[in-house]
Amino acid sequence: MRTRFFGVFSMATLSAGTLLVAACGEPGEQSDRESTQVSKLAANATVEDAVNDSGCTELLVRGLANQLADEIMICLRPNSLTKIDNIPNTTLAKEVFPYLQTAAATALKNAITARGASMTINSGWRALPEQYLLSRWAGQGRCGISVAADPGQSNHETGLAIDIQDNGGWNSYLTNQGWVWLGSGDPVHFDFKGGGTVDFRSDSVLAFQRLWNRNHPADLIDEDGSYGPMTASRLQSSPVAGFPIGAAGCGKDAGSPVTPDAAVATDAGSVPTTTDDASTQTPATTDNDESSEFGGSSGCSTHATKRASTRGFGAAFLLLALALARRSRKK
């Protein structure tokens, strides 16, 4: 009887645990299709591991990228980015973060309305680890990436750039709305040069530095928005799924700048600025109704995790009771 009891209890607990994991997910996961891509890597995979993965998709680092998006949109630049997946006649590739600065998003919408055709967007706003992947792949001549800016130097990181299909057909319509074609060296790329914008590319780096320091109080680095050797090495070793503490910890104390001192590693040798940007030629998908909301720091808040845990154990005992009841009826 004792053996049967613990067998039933184990199955009930396992079932409840499965439900709990399915509901909560890995840190930063936003959808099933994204977690499918990330699952190609080990659970403890780093950003550097993602560079060498055969998947060739920015989704490999989407968990960490989601946390950095939170850091920028909640902590550093509230209300700085506007959703673009709700613009009529737009098709977004699955890798696309559907955000641009408000003025750029408005100009994009006006261009699409003027042409009256559907635009396929292969890249929009990017987080630091995504730009790092593209830069590394370009340097290796891999993944169809011909040219890429250094991390912290791309206009994609400030929400002022898009990569699209049919650039020739869209050129004049976008130009009329303040967008500038980068040229034949990167034919899919357009930068928004109209007014009402802010260049916060350095915040892409700063967001990571803050997130790293929040999770590594014994290994602090400068929070200066400069991408140098110290920041680069920490980024390479960061988990693709994200850190335990995300933007939920960006209150007054957590968000205050770190003052450089003997205990803080500095980025004295910053990476040189480049003007090239990355061309992404990924196939597009038409499921642009699935928005990529940046909710929470790691996919589940502390309170949500506690509630889910309580529900999980409750479900375990409910399943146990049902199983014992069925067994009693059989007797």
User: pLDDT, tens digit, for every residue of 121-152?
Assistant: 999 999 999 999 999 999 999 998 888 999 99
DSSP calls for 11-34: HHHHHHHHHHHHHH-STT---HHH
Asked if residue 246 is part of any domain, the answer here is no
Domain total in the chain = 2
**What pLDDT is recorded for position 284?**
39
User: Do residues 170 and 308 share a domain?
Assistant: no
**What pLDDT is recorded for position 87?**
96
User: Do residues 14 and 65 share a domain?
Assistant: no
User: Do residues 134 and 45 share a domain?
Assistant: yes
- Cβ distance 76 to 206 under 8 Å? yes
**What pLDDT is recorded for position 42?**
84
Asked if residue 223 is part of any domain, the answer here is no
Asked if residue 295 is part of any domain, the answer here is yes
Give the relative orientation of helices 201-215 and 62-70 as an angle to the nearest 10 degrees.
Answer: 100
User: Do residues 80 and 176 share a domain?
Assistant: yes
Low-confidence ranges of the chain (pLDDT < 50): 1-39, 252-262, 270-276, 278, 280-316, 330
Range of the domain at 13: 2-23+303-330
Measure the CA–CA gap between 170 and 187, rounded to whole angstroms.
11
**What pLDDT is recorded for position 237?**
97
User: Do residues 291 and 307 share a domain?
Assistant: no
Q: How far, in whole angstroms, is CA 96 from its chain's centroid?
A: 9
Asked if residue 126 is part of any domain, the answer here is yes
| pLDDT tens sequence across 66-119 | 999 999 999 999 989 999 999 999 999 999 999 999 999 999 999 999 999 999
Measure the CA–CA gap between 180 and 170, rounded to whole angstroms.
11
In degrees, rounded to 5, the angle at the alpha carbon of residue 248 between the alpha carbons of residues 96 and 80 is 45
User: Do residues 175 and 316 share a domain?
Assistant: no
- Cβ distance 109 to 117 under 8 Å? no
Q: What is the CATH number of the domain that holds 152?
A: 3.30.1380
**What pLDDT is recorded for position 55?**
86
User: Do residues 125 and 8 share a domain?
Assistant: no
From the CB of residue 67, how many other CB atoms can be counted at a distance below 10 Å? 30
Measure the CA–CA gap between 230 and 232, rounded to whole angstroms.
5
User: Do residues 320 and 188 share a domain?
Assistant: no
**First-to-last C-alpha distance (Å) of the chain:** 13
User: Do residues 283 and 326 share a domain?
Assistant: no
User: Do residues 49 and 95 share a domain?
Assistant: yes
Q: Where are the alpha helices (DSSP H) in the chain?
A: 2-24, 32-38, 47-51, 62-70, 102-115, 128-140, 167-175, 201-215, 229-236, 302-330
The average confidence (pLDDT) of the chain is: 75
Measure the CA–CA gap between 211 and 76, rounded to whole angstroms.
12
User: Do residues 14 and 103 share a domain?
Assistant: no
From the CB of residue 126, how many other CB atoms can be counted at a distance below 10 Å? 31
Asked if residue 110 is part of any domain, the answer here is yes
**What pLDDT is recorded for position 177?**
97
Asked if residue 294 is part of any domain, the answer here is yes
Asked if residue 164 is part of any domain, the answer here is yes
Give every CB contact of residue 117 below 8 A, 6+ residues apart in sequence: 89, 169
Tokens of 279: 């061309």
Asked if residue 326 is part of any domain, the answer here is yes
Question: Which residues on neighbouring strands pair with residue 119, listed in sequence order?
Answer: 90
Tokens of 270: 């910053």
User: Do residues 14 and 138 share a domain?
Assistant: no
